[in-house]
Copies of this chain bind each other. A is one copy, B any other.
Amino acid sequence: MTTSTALDRFYSVIPAGGIGSRLWPLSRADAPKFLHDLTGSGQTLLRDTWNRLAPLTGDQRIMVVTGRAHRKAVEEQLPELADHNVVLESEPRESAAAIGLAAAILELREPGVIIGSFAADHVIHRDDIFRRAVAEAVEVADAGYIVTVGIRPTEPAIGFGYIHSGGKLDVPGAPSALTVESFVEKPDQATAKRYLASGHYLWNAGMFIARADRILEEIGRSEPELLAGLLELAAAWDDPATRGPAVDRIWPKLKKIAIDYAVAEPAAAAGRLAVIPGLFDWDDVGDFASIAKLHSGGRKRDLAILGENARVLADSSSGIVISEGGRTIALIGVEDIVVVDTADALLVTTSANAQKVKAVVDALKLSGRTDVL
C-alpha cells in the first residue's frame, strides 16, 4: 500500500502569456518572450521552464495556459504536453483569470489538487534548489496556506516587488517556511538597500503554490464575480460541446486583475500567506539591461553577444548585442549599449534606457506600424 503525499497531488501550471514589450523588437506578438532563448541555453525559456518542472510532477501533470495564437509554437516546444493540459485564452485577461481558470478546471477534475504557478519566461539557475523549495512549498500549501517562493535578494534591485517575511512557520517537511507580513511594491533605491540589509525581504518572483480550492476561495473573497465566471467556465470546460460557447460568453467579461492583487496581497494581509526563501539565482529578464547582466556575469565592461549566427565586431564597446539576422554588426566606442538587430526592426538604446522600450511599442501602435509589433 502506498501513501499519497502532498507532492503526489501537485500539478504545475505555466501561464505562457505576455508579449514582453520591453524586449521589442526581439519579442513580438507572434514571438513572445517565452519563445526565445535569452540565456544561451540553446532552448526557449518555455522549454527551460518545462524541464525545470517535469522532474517534480512528471510530464502529465503540467498545464499550460496560453493564447490561441501561440498554441502551435507551444506544442512544438513541448511535444510531451497532453491535449487536456492546454488551456487556450481567446484574449489576454491577466493572471488571476488565467491561474484561476486552471485552478477551477483542475479542482473539478481532481478535488484536493495542489497547484503551483510558474511564469514561462523567467530564468533560474540551480533547478535542483528551485525544486527543493517548491517541494517545501507544496507541504505548506497542503496545510492550507497560499505559498510563494521568494528569492533571496543579491542586490538592492528596484525593478522587483518585495515580500516582507515574518517568523518561522511550523509545518512538517517545510523547515524553511516563513510567514509573510506583507507584499510591497517596487521600492526606491534607499528603501531597497534597507530591505537588503534587514535580511527580512525577498524578491517577489510571482510563484504561487496552493491548494486549488484555497486559490478559488481567495478569489471569491476579493473578486466574487470573477470566481463565479471561472467556476461556470470550468464546469463547461471538459465537454467539447459546451467549452467553446462558454469561452466566448464568459472569458471576455472576466475582470483583468493580477493574481498578486486578487489573491496574494489579501491573503498576506489576513495571515494566510507563507513564503519559502529561494536560494537560487532568478531573474525575470524584464528588459535588455537584465539580459545584459545575465550574460556579463556582473562585469560592466563586457559586451554580451546573443544570436546563433551573430557576426559582431566591437572595439572598446560594452553592453549587449542581440543578432537575429546574421548581418555583420560593428560597434565602435559605445558604452552600455543595447543593439537588437532583427529582420525588419532595429533597436539602439542603452542599459539605462532599457525600461523605456515599452514606450516605443506604444508609439508604434499609435502610429499604425503594427507590422513590426
Contact = CB atoms under 8 A, between A and B. Distances in A.
B25 A356 contact: no
Interface stretch (A88-96, A108-116, A334-342): A334-342
B315 A356 contact: yes
B360 A313 contact: yes
B348 A348 contact: yes
A250 interface: no
B339 A372 contact: no
Given A315-B356, A315-B359, A345 B330 contact: yes
A297 interface: no
A359 B331 CA distance: 11
A66 to B, nearest CB: 27
A333 interface: yes
Count this chain's copies in the assembly. Answer: 2
Nearest to A353: B333
A110 to B, nearest CB: 47
A129 interface: no
Contact of A345 (B327, B339, B353): B327
Nearest to A337: B348
B329 A346 contact: yes
A259 B352 CA distance: 49
Given A333-B352, A356-B333, A328 B346 contact: yes
A313 B346 contact: no
Interface residues of A, number: 35
B349 A331 contact: yes
A333 B359 CA distance: 12
Contacts of A25: 328, 330
B328 A349 contact: no
Contacts of A81: none
A363 interface: yes
Contacts of A333: 349-350, 352-353, 356
A239 interface: no
A332 B313 contact: no
A106 interface: no
Interface string A120-162: 0000000000000000000000000000000000000000000
Contacts of A313: 360, 363-364, 367
A72 interface: no
A74 interface: no
B329 A345 contact: yes
A288 to B, nearest CB: 10
Nearest to A355: B332
A347 interface: yes
Contacts of A345: 327-330
Nearest to A371: B328
A315 B332 CA distance: 22
Contacts of A339: 346, 348
Most interface-central of A25, A339, A349, A367 (chain B CB within 10 A): A349
A349 B334 contact: yes
B334 A350 contact: yes
A369 to B, nearest CB: 6
A359 B316 CA distance: 12
A263 to B, nearest CB: 35
Interface string A167-180: 00000000000000
A283 B352 CA distance: 35
A83 interface: no
